[in-house]
Chain A
Amino acid sequence: EAAVTQSPRNKVTVTGGNVTLSCRQTNSHNYMYWYRQDTGHGLRLIHYSYGAGNLQIGDVPDGYKATRTTQEDFFLLLELASPSQTSLYFCASSPTGGARGTQYFGPGTRLLVL
């Protein structure tokens, strides 16, 4: 069973603050993803990666940076947090990026920007 962990689980920051969300997967999956979910919306893809050092832009990348430092670790950076980034963030991994691939999700990080 693929294991994906996220930290912190909850975070409060102020407008303009600097936030890093961490994700680690322990099943050697190539693909990793960052999503955000807001009430009334489906999960929206922020950034994704298909290997260490690789970064691909998702559908809602503005205001976010990401880095994939190793096969296991994928970070999401908010360098100047804004209230519009208050959301529930999910990290996911999958063995391939193909259409039939199952995604394995972490438990989520709830971020509040005051």
Chain B
Amino acid sequence: GDSVTQTEGQVTVSESKSLIINCTYSATSIGYPNLFWYVRYPGEGLQLLLKVITAGQKGSSRGFEATYNKEATSFHLQKASVQESDSAVYYCALSDRVNTGNYKYVFGAGTRLKVIA
């Protein structure tokens, strides 16, 4: 079945340094899945950070960006300079067609980002 892998459970980065959170996926449908990054701030629900529905394209939001790499089946999240307010849990996800008209979301386990001063 489909799966999403985030290899790091927690990442600690100093403020103003660069960030990369790794995400790889496996999808079983004939077409290409849609890829998402969600973020969860303390005490809140997950909210969409960015999404990319076309292989080879890049999505960006709030200084974060991710490129849909179908050859490497990756969708890594990057930011050039993090701030303390970026501390949160980041989830990679895909949606994939399971049959005609029906789609399924699959989430990674999440990566907790801690930004230190």
Contacts and interface: CB of A to CB of B under 8 A. Distances in A.
B76 interface: no
Interface string B15-53: 000000000000000000110101010011111100101
A64 to B, nearest CB: 18
B91 A99 contact: no
A38 to B, nearest CB: 9
B99 interface: no
* Central interface residue in A45, A99, A101, by most chain B CB within 10 Å: A99
* Central interface residue in A37, A101, A102, A103, by most chain B CB within 10 Å: A103
A102 B37 CA distance: 11
A33 to B, nearest CB: 8
Interface residues of A, number: 22
Interface string A69-111: 0000000000000000000001010000111111111111000
Interface stretch (B58-66, B79-87, B107-115): B107-115
A78 B102 CA distance: 27
Interface string B95-110: 1110000111111111
Contact of B103 (A40, A98, A108): A98
Contacts of A40: 9, 109
A111 to B, nearest CB: 16
A108 B45 contact: yes
B77 interface: no
B107 A99 contact: no
A31 B38 CA distance: 18
A100 B45 contact: no
Given A99-B103, A102-B51, A42 B4 contact: yes
B54 to A, nearest CB: 11
B24 to A, nearest CB: 13
A106 B45 CA distance: 5
A43 B97 contact: no
A4 interface: yes
A99 B109 contact: no
Contact of B91 (A43, A101, A102, A106): A43
Contacts of A99: 33-34, 53, 95-97, 103
Contact of A90 (B45, B51, B95, B97): B45
